Each structure stands twice: as structure tokens, then as C-alpha cells.
Amino acid sequence: MTVTLLTDYGHDDEFVGVCHGVIRTIVPDAPIVDVTHGIPRHSIRHGALVLRNALPYLPPGVHMAVVDPQVGTERRAVAVRCGDGRLLVGPDNGLLSLAWERAGGVVEAVDVSRSPHRLEPVSATFHGRDVFAPVAAHLSAGAALADAGDPLDPADLVELELPVASVGADEALAHVLLVDRFGNAALNLDHAALLATGGTIGSRVLVESGGRSRKATVVQTFADVAPGELLLYEDAWGWLALAINRGDAAAELGLEPDREVRIAASR
Amino acid sequence: MTVTLLTDYGHDDEFVGVCHGVIRTIVPDAPIVDVTHGIPRHSIRHGALVLRNALPYLPPGVHMAVVDPQVGTERRAVAVRCGDGRLLVGPDNGLLSLAWERAGGVVEAVDVSRSPHRLEPVSATFHGRDVFAPVAAHLSAGAALADAGDPLDPADLVELELPVASVGADEALAHVLLVDRFGNAALNLDHAALLATGGTIGSRVLVESGGRSRKATVVQTFADVAPGELLLYEDAWGWLALAINRGDAAAELGLEPDREVRIAASR
Amino acid sequence: MTVTLLTDYGHDDEFVGVCHGVIRTIVPDAPIVDVTHGIPRHSIRHGALVLRNALPYLPPGVHMAVVDPQVGTERRAVAVRCGDGRLLVGPDNGLLSLAWERAGGVVEAVDVSRSPHRLEPVSATFHGRDVFAPVAAHLSAGAALADAGDPLDPADLVELELPVASVGADEALAHVLLVDRFGNAALNLDHAALLATGGTIGSRVLVESGGRSRKATVVQTFADVAPGELLLYEDAWGWLALAINRGDAAAELGLEPDREVRIAASR
């Protein structure tokens, strides 16, 4: 069964490679997919959103995720089975919660902090290597979830809360969910919400954030506006997003996660 | 059959991982080689040159490449079979053209914009996921090229033009083709061109670019000059290149793609 | 047999991808583990330490490593068999030496500079592609080590020297071994050495380096101190390391490889 990995380890150090080594030692031939290791350090919500977005495009399997500022403390390490059969492995800090919502909820959960699959001695700072990777590998090899740790009530798992946008008659008050490396900023709005404010393809809207105000064109893709122009489009995950064609919208508008953004019809 | 990937997606986001996920969902066991995802954003020519250079070292298979500033517009998405049997998949913007020149030309081409293999709904901005990856995966699994899209006359494909150097009796007027992350700058000159200007291993040449002028030693490798010294050498792809031992030639000489560089015998 | 790779090539260019291509051309199905390609350029010792640390977590196989400032000169290229059966391939500049110490020493060595497995013509600057990758691939496919090059006396191999800490009654004079991308600095001290100076979990120590002095708390993990506080902990490889919770200890204390650090009991 495929193992997928998502972390904030980056590629400068050997953390990802060592996790691969641990997995390959246990299951030499399992396909491994690195979803990304570029989650901003300690950004649980960014990781949770990316995992949720990517999930439908990943083969069913064991999905390990590690963004873990509380590593080495009493925070739980968990493995869960979702309604659709996918298995998720990671710290119990909300990182996995948007993914399991999308995958049919949690039908079985275990605490793997003292998993029989763990590598001893477990270090205080690298549970990716010592706990999560060996647990994920054994699950991918067919080990039973119930044998990977101690049973846990799914209701006790940590859930993540996302900010909620409010959509009025001619404006929407939204928030930045995440910013990608090109400076494109996804908002907690979908296309239906935009239509409610009168925004249709080709129309102009007013974008206000942090005291700055700028007009954007509602379009389908970057090349529909001139280089340097602001656009509002439905991104590849179904969110409305702000971007600048061949530019960096986040830098120019000061957009960062949780920042409020007002989108209003432009008259 | 192996699938190779080359893009400008970088590793900070999940774009590469999601393409892997799409491929692995269709062909769980195909070998995947990531040629690089570090092509400078939107730099079609850089991508085309790297793909061309790498190709002889890649196992024959399906070679997917995405550097696609016009994604979501009417630019074509294509898959082609080369004279040597390799299959190339990507946007029809010249990105693939240096590779197919090297691989025996195009013997069959299809427009895959509305490929039956595509993932619907196709997003306006992420054709790597929705078009190119599933087409590449199905081809690697043995699907017929003719079934991947609509037939296309190879003569209609977009070709890339490279700048042409002029080599005189005692000087060469060349251009920077690309700069790697160490600041080494490849020129559109090969070793034979240098010999024509009298440059032999151990000789000194005058390098002029952007109003700056500096002497370089013609050598085989970095360690043949002292740290900090400029060298002219045949790089691993057969081009003449400028470098500074343990330094950054591009930064020191202001070299960037297309910049003219005059190489003259130094008396 | 698994092939693992460790280099200073980075991910911006196609160097790593081309090595994968060469390996996959020879052994299409061998598992490949990228330990890391983020070793600081030309930092042989950093690479040697990371390879040594990672080795116990990698499946037994062929371990190729390239940090090679002398590429193209007369430095030897080698392949060795360790006492525990692992095979190491790389330049003979000390890069492999900490790994073979850990793997039971060298029991057989060959000079692969003119290996029958090499790709000709061998470039002067990219032996990863032309020498090390094809040698590693053939070894992983089962080729005999003796057939990969010319026999070599293991006693002639280059060994790396590490700085040695001195541990006194109430202080230790140590050195920075390496700094990771989070700014955590590993010292050439283990936990036993710390205990010798009276440092126990929860105690405070004085850390002096480069004229700067600061107190640190001896703890098990980052979250045991407040954000911004300096901690001394046993890192995941068994070394004592300095870190700042949610901060960058190397930047704040000016720590870099070989820098002396005095750790003293704080009264």
C-alpha cells in the first residue's frame, strides 16, 4: 500500500531521507509519494489544508503527516482509519483533522505514542523517524491498526477550526487561508460566494486588506490579465484566490494567513 | 515504462507531490524520475535546454515537462512520439522542442487538451495535475498515443529558437544559455568553437560582457585554477562555460540568459 | 539492493535527477533513497557526519555520496565494502570515512576512477553522473566489487579527523560539529560528557562562545522551555545540541562548524 509523506522538514537536512530509509527498511517496495516537505515550520493549519487538498489525488494508502511543534511533550501520536479506508498517521494536534473530515470521518483510532512498531530509544525531537515512519510502514505492509497502539475514542481527537467568511449582499468579508510560493493567496470563499456578491467572470471587484485597497479582475486564469495586474480566480482546489499575473500578490498586498480581506463589487 | 518529470513548480508547495499522486493512482509501480522542479518560473527556454541535456541519461519512457505561463489559455497541450521511441508530454510552447530534436524528431503528435485521460473538471491553472500527469501515466501504462488526444500535424508544433554565436578568426561572440545555481554560465559555444579562436587548455582568454572585461584561463576543471579565479571550461553537457573556482561567476560578471559574451585571445 | 544518495547538488538544478536517470537506466526497479542533497557546497565534513548519522536508519545497500571539491583532479574515486556488508561509493576525500567507521571498517576497497562501469567520455566536472552513479547502480544489481575497479589497500584511504572536546570537572570545552537548517547546533559532546560537568535535566548551564555568554536550560525537548529561550538537549543522533525554542540558536549565538563552545555549570 502506498505511503505518502507531508512534513515541515524541508530538503536542506536529512530528516526526510531518514524517514524514507526507515520505511524502506520495513517495506522495501512500497510506493512512496512525497506530498510536500515545504510546509512552513510549525504551521499546523497550512499542513492540514494542504493535506486536505491533496488527498483526493493521492492513491488510497497510509498518509503520514508531521508538523509537530509539541514533539517530545505529552501530545498524543495517533493513527486513524477514515470512513473511506484511508489511514492517517501523525501528531494529534489538528494536522490530520481536515483530511479525515474529507475522507469520511474517523472510524477507528489508536494512540501510537508507545506503539510496538516504534524504534527504541525514541528520541525527544524526531518522532518522524522513531514513531510515525515505522508505524506508517508497518500499516502499509498490512499490520492491523488495532495492533499499532492503544485504542482511543475518536471523539477525543483534536479538531482544527478554520475562520469563517461572511458573505453579504454586495460584499464578502473573507480571510487568507494560505499563501503559496508564488504569492498567490487562497481565501475561505468559493465561487458560489463570489457570485452572491455579483462577481462574474470579467467583472471588476474592490479588494481591501490591511488598509490597502486595489481593484481586481475576476478571471479564469493568470494570462487573462496583463502582467502586473491583480486577479481573483478559482484556484485549483476550488477556493477563490488573489494573484498577480507574473507577480507576487501576497508581497504587494501584505497578505498572510488569517489576514482579513474584503471583496466588494466595484462600481 | 518510466515517467520522468521536469517543471518549474519548486518543492515548497504540493504541486509536484500531487502530480506524483495522480501518476501513482494510475500506475502504482512505474519508476518515476524527477529530473528537476527547479526550472526558474516561466522560463521555457531554461526548461527546454535542461530537458535536452538530461534526455540521453534518462531511461526511455514518457517524459513530462511543465513550464507553462499560458496555462488555461488556448495554447495547446500535446503528447508526441520521437524518432527514437521516447514520448514527450507538455504544453506546446517550445519547451519540448529541443528534446525532440535530439530524439530523432517528432513522428506522431496529438493534442491532449481534451484527452479522455484528463481529470475533470480541468482547473484553469494546474494542468500538470489535470492533464499532463494523467496523460503521461496512461501512456506509461501502455495506452496508445493515438487514443490520448486528437491527431496533430507535427509541422504545426511550436519550435524554440536559440541565439546563434558567431566565431571569427580570433574571437567569438557568444550568448549565455543558462546559469546554474552555483553561478556557472553555459555559453552557446562548444570546444571546437573555442579552438577556432586559438583557445587551448592552459591558454588565457579575454572575457567581455556588459562593459566588464576579465581574463580567464582555459582549463578542464575548477580545481585547475586558484579559488576566486575565472575559468572557461567544457561543462558536463558539452558547452563552454564560465565559472569561478569556489565562487559565483554569474554574480561577479553580471551574466544572465541571452547576455552577449565576447571571448577573445589574450595577448 | 537499495541505492542511497547523499550530495551537495541541491534541488535547483538537474544534477540529482540525472543521477537517478543513470541509475534507473541500469537498474529500473532498485529502491532509491535520497538521504539529502542539501549538504552545504563542498562541505566534506558536514556530508560525512550526516552520512554517519543516517546510516543505521538506511536499508543495507549501496550508499553513494558526492561532496567533491576536487572533482576532475587526481583525487581517487572509490568503492568500499564495510565489515557489516554495506557498500560505499564516492570520492576518496574523507566523506565516506565516518560511515565506514560505524559500519565495521573497510574490508575491501577498489579505485573506480577508470571503472569499466563508467560512462564515457567522463566529464571533468560531473563524476556523480559519469562515475559514481553507474558504479553504484551496477553494484546494486549484483556486480562484484572487485570488478568495479582496481584493487586498493584500505590503509591508503583518506580518513577525516574530528575536533576533540575536553571535559573537565565542572566545564566542557566543545566544538560545533554542524548546524541544521533550523539553526540547531550539534556539539562534539554526548550526554555522559554533560553529566560529568554536573548538568542534569532541569539544571542551568552557562554557554560561552565567541565572547558571548548566555544561560541555557538542560532539557529533553524544545517545548520544555518558553519560546525564545536557549536549551541544551540530546539531539536525535545522540549529540548534545544547542537550540532556541522556535528560534535560531546559530544565528543568535554566532555558531558555525568548528566554533569553540564552553559549557559550564551555572551557579
Option in A35, A222, A236 nearest B129 (CB): A236
* pLDDT at A1 (0 to 100): 93
Task: Compute the average pLDDT of residues A188-217.
Answer: 87
- Rounded to a whole number of angstroms, the distance between the first and last alpha carbons of chain C is 55
Q: What is the pLDDT of residue B170?
A: 83
* pLDDT band, residue B100 (cuts 50/70/90): very high
CB B261 within 8 A of CB B209: yes
Counting as contact any 3 or more CB pairs under 8 A, the partners of A are: B, C
Query: For B43-77, what is each residue's pLDDT tens digit?
Result: 999 999 999 999 999 999 999 999 999 888 889 99
d(CA B74, CA A51): 31
Contact between chains at B125 and A236 (C-beta distance less than 8 A) = yes
Phi then psi for A91, rounded to 5 degrees?
A: -70, 150
Residues lower than pLDDT 50 in chain C: none
**Angle CA A81–A83–A89, to nearest 5:** 25
State residue A115's pLDDT score.
Answer: 98
A residues 10..49 contacting C (CB < 8 A) = 10-14, 16-18, 20-22, 24-25, 28-29, 41-42
Partners of chain C (3+ Cβ pairs below 8 A): A, B
Partner-chain contact A220 B72, CB within 8 Å: yes
One-letter amino acid at B146 equals A
Chain A from 71 to 90: CB within 8 A of any C CB: 71-73
Amino acid letter, A244? I
pLDDT of residue B72: 82
pLDDT, average across residues A123-140: 97
Mean pLDDT of chain A: 94
Predicted confidence (pLDDT) per residue in C114-169, tens digit: 999 999 999 998 999 999 999 999 999 999 999 999 999 999 999 999 999 999 88
pLDDT attached to residue A267: 64
Return residues 96-155 of C near A (CB < 8 Å).
Answer: none
Which candidate, C83, C90, C87, places its Cα nearest to that of C141?
C87
The whole-number pLDDT of residue C77 equals 98
* pLDDT of B173 higher than 90: yes
Q: How far apart are CA B75 and CA A141, in angstroms?
A: 44
Closest residue on chain B to C8 (Cα): B182
Tell me the average pLDDT across A14-24.
98
Contact state of C125 with B31 under an 8 Å Cβ cutoff: no
**Alpha carbons B237 and B218: distance in angstroms, whole number:** 17
Per-residue pLDDT reduced to its tens digit, A38-95: 999 999 999 999 999 999 999 999 999 999 998 888 899 999 999 999 999 999 999 9
Q: Do C124 and B221 touch (CB under 8 A)?
A: yes
A-chain CB neighbours of B123 within 8 Å are 234-236
Q: How far apart are CA A78 and CA A92, in angstroms?
A: 6
pLDDT at position C267:
64
Average pLDDT value over all residues in chain C: 94
pLDDT for the residue numbered C72: 82
Q: Does B181 touch chain C (CB under 8 A)?
A: yes
What percent of chain B is modeled with pLDDT above 70?
A: 100
pLDDT at C201: 86
d(CA A153, CA B132): 42
